[in-house]
Amino acid sequence: MSTAPAPKCVRALIAPDKFKGSLTAGEVAYALAAGLRSAAGSGTGSVHCELLPLADGGDGSVDAAVASGFTRHSHTVAGPTGQPVQASIAFDGVTAVVEVANTCGLGLLPGGILEPLGASSRGFGEAVLFSLSLGPARIVLALGGSASTDGGMGMLTALGYSFRDADGRQLYGSGGALAQIHSIQRTALPELAGTELLVASDVHNPLLGAQGAPAVFGPQKGAGPEEIAALDTGLEHFVTKLAAAGFADAAQLAAHPGAGSAGGIGYACLLLGARQVSGADYFLDLLDFNARKDNCDIVITGEGSLDEQTLAGKLPAAVARRSGSRPIIAVAGRSLLAQERWAEMDLTRVYTLAEYTDQDSSKDPELSAALLRRIGKDIGTSLL
């Protein structure tokens, strides 16, 4: 008498980045898991899902840390144009995660109106100052999504630096104010001196020049040719004044890879002694990816768009690199990678929302979530 085979149980680690403009990494993971679990209705087996929403140092970094067990702390800071915004900081008792996107990011501009010269990084500095009050051993500075190109002038203002014009008036800190700096004074923060600062970013641009912050990232923040030139000139003046104020390595740090990240906030972080780390790899370590994937049979990752930048080292590529020999499935809003290039990330299969609809899901969270549930169910069915 033959015995029916035991129902199959597949353990899946769902570890996506956000779908920018549509869903957070947590929402992506939740929708895929719901679809995967629904595939078990046939009675042939089940899928055990472990959710690990990820971030690479850009927007969503605090949410990813909270999803992994960090505690969320809220604090009111100045938004990119000075309006108060409620920022979130993640803290686990040792490490604090502070991000640009939820303090002075593009998504916080009132009415979505870009302010290439007027936006400031001050709110990010205020969030860092608040996180210091929690007593962390280290602070992770997640730099993606900045609305400003102020070289971190606003951030430094919040951390005890005083920038004054030729008439002695205090400058607030913005891209447009850089050229007005006449003198710089700094007040030491003992808490900052005793705290390890880590810049989590995979941007390698210098502060100035053809590959610098204004030229490369200024256009997405609303800067035209004249504003780009003004910002580059202002940042050059900023560097000169910092050198005159006693920062002997001001010019050297401006040329350092990553100084141009987040409109030059990366430069200010280097001035403060921060150490740069790969955003993708740091967050995979912080969220204990290696241990979690060892308990799973398959890894599902993804982001809004799979393209050449993905292959260059964005988060799904880092996930694939660490996943070992187990199957890796990628889910994306769209894919610009031909199937023959999947092997470069050892991908078993790629699913895209674009294959499931003719509508533009990139700005429609409900549609995106519904499509991800459908994709999750199809993945589950294929596994069982």
Q: What is the mean pLDDT of residues 81-99?
A: 97
Report the alpha-carbon distance of residue 363 to residue 305 in Å, rounded.
13
Q: What is the mean pLDDT of residues 355-381?
A: 94
What pLDDT is stored for residue 43 in this prediction? Answer: 60
Per-residue pLDDT tens over the stretch 143-196: 989 999 999 999 999 999 999 999 999 999 999 999 999 999 988 788 888 899
Report the alpha-carbon distance of residue 261 to residue 99 in Å, rounded.
13
What pLDDT is stored for residue 7 in this prediction? Answer: 59
What pLDDT is stored for residue 41 in this prediction? Answer: 63
From 328, 268, 306, 237, select the one nearest 20 (Cα to Cα). Answer: 306
What pLDDT is stored for residue 308 in this prediction? Answer: 87
Per-residue pLDDT tens over the stretch 252-302: 999 999 999 999 999 999 999 999 998 989 999 988 999 999 989 999 999
Low-confidence winner among 53-62, 112-121, 138-147 (lowest mean pLDDT): 53-62
Q: What is the mean pLDDT of residues 20-32?
A: 92
Q: What is the mean pLDDT of residues 6-12?
A: 79
Exposure string for 218-238, b = 16+ CB within 10 A, e = fewer? beebbbeeebbebbbebbbbb
Over 60: is that where the pLDDT of 6 sits? no
From 68, 192, 204, 74, select the one nearest 139 (Cα to Cα). Answer: 192
Report the alpha-carbon distance of residue 101 to residue 95 in Å, rounded.
19
Q: How many C-beta neighbours within 10 Å does residue 178 have?
A: 27
Over 70: is that where the pLDDT of 142 sits? yes
Quote the pTM value: 0.88
Per-residue pLDDT tens over the stretch 197-228: 999 988 899 999 999 999 999 999 999 999 99
Q: Which residue has the tokens 């971030």?
A: 55
* Confidence class for position 1, pLDDT limits 50, 70, 90: very low
- For 11, 49, 82, 346, the CA distances from 324, given in Å and listed in that order, are 15, 19, 47, 9
Q: What sign does the dihedral 172-175-179-184 (CA atoms) show?
A: positive
Biggest CA pair distance of the chain: 97
Report the alpha-carbon distance of residue 172 to residue 158 in Å, rounded.
9
Please answer whether residues 264 and 149 qualify as being in contact, where contact means their C-beta atoms are separated by less than 8 angstroms: yes
Q: Which amino acid is at 382?
A: S
Q: What is the mean pLDDT of residues 33-41?
A: 87
- For 28, 43, 172, 200, the CA distances from 12, given in Å and listed in that order, are 14, 18, 49, 27
Report the alpha-carbon distance of residue 145 to residue 272 in Å, rounded.
21
Half-sphere exposure of 313 (CA within 13 A, CB side): 10
Over 70: is that where the pLDDT of 2 sits? no
Per-residue pLDDT tens over the stretch 310-365: 888 789 999 999 998 899 999 999 999 888 999 999 999 999 999 999 999 988 99
- For 15, 36, 103, 118, 165, the CA distances from 287, given in Å and listed in that order, are 10, 23, 22, 36, 45
Please answer whether residues 52 and 13 qualify as being in contact, where contact means their C-beta atoms are separated by less than 8 angstroms: yes
Please answer whether residues 304 and 22 qualify as being in contact, where contact means their C-beta atoms are separated by less than 8 angstroms: yes
